[in-house]
Amino acid sequence: MEEQKKKISLIAFSGDFDRLTAVFTLATGAAASGYEVNIFFTFWGLDAIKAEKGRAFLGKNWLTKLFGFMMGGLSNTPTSRFNFFGIGPRIFRYLMKKNNVATLEELVDAANALGINLYACEMAMHVLGLEKKDFIHEVKDVLGVNTFLELSEGGRTLFI
């Protein structure tokens, strides 16, 4: 009998630059080693897959639009420590480039090139007034808990 493909499913809850770097490092490393990889983005994590990389008034009413603006996209993600009003992530990006370590943006590109499955959480999208069209086109589907459980069954799951 053929061995079942190894699988890892990540729940990307955080919108922090450093935690998202961990998500995409694990995801791309696993995919490159032959794993099937699923990433389920929820709450702050949704910032990572917004088509608009900077700040934008995404949302359905003034409150969610304001939230959308304050949350921003991938290029606005703050570090969980030493953020210093946005200077922290700039310093990290500089250090990563200088040391030839892949930046968060390069890791996201690699994830897409490797065909990693990206999913968005339906409930969090509803709360934040976001729609599938607000995300990068690589986002495969909008899911709820049950579908995620089905997809992740038989593999490892991590919450970051």
Residue in 99, 133, 137, 146 binding another protein, rule: CB under 8 A: 99
The verdict on 4 binding another protein (CB under 8 A) reads no
CA nearest to 46, candidates 84, 80, 20: 20
Q: What is the layout of strands, in order, in the sheet containing 7-12?
A: 139-143, 117-121, 36-41, 7-12, 156-159
How far is 154 from 160, CA to CA, in rounded Å? 19
Residue in 55, 69, 88, 114 binding another protein, rule: CB under 8 A: 114
Residue in 108, 110, 118, 128 binding another protein, rule: CB under 8 A: 110
How far is 37 from 122, CA to CA, in rounded Å? 19
Instruction: Closer to another protein by CB, 33 or 80: give it.
Output: 33
Q: For the CB of residue 3, give the shortest distance to another protein in the complex, in Å.
A: 10
Q: For the CB of residue 94, give the shortest distance to another protein in the complex, in Å.
A: 16
User: Helix, strand or coil for residue 144?
Assistant: coil
Residue in 113, 123, 145, 149 binding another protein, rule: CB under 8 A: 113
Beta-strand (E) ranges in 16-108? 36-41
> Segment contacting another protein (CB under 8 A): 26-34, 37-45, 79-87, 124-132?
26-34
The verdict on 102 binding another protein (CB under 8 A) reads yes
